[in-house]
Amino acid sequence: MQRNRCWICTQAIDYNAPPNHPESFEPDHYYPVSTHPHLANDPANLRASHSKCNRSRGNQPAQQGVWIQAEEW
């Protein structure tokens, strides 16, 4: 996993923060596991995100249109 910025808020992630810290890294599933269980373990479905951003997003679809890919599932 590269040390990317948070794909939700585009801010830098503190990769040294302890687990569960709001600014710490958490892998976010681009396609929620609840609706795409077959992608749960697919690295291509993961995006770097803050713990706080990942949790505030929950299982909502991506809001930012720029992130919505053309491919249909």
Choose which of 6, 25, 29, 30 interacts with Zn ion (CB under 5 A): 6
| Site track for Zn ion across 15-34, x = CB under 5 A | --------------------
Distance, CA of 35 to CA of 18 (rounded, Å): 29
| 48 binding Zn ion? (CB under 5 A) | no
Residue type for position 33? V
> How wide is the angle at C-alpha 21 spanned by C-alphas 51 and 8, nearest 5°?
25
Q: Which of 9, 17, 39, 62 binds Zn ion (CB under 5 A)?
A: 9
Give the C-alpha separation, 23 to 14, whole Å: 6
Q: Where on the chain is the footprint of Zn ion (CB under 5 A)?
A: 6, 8-9, 50, 53
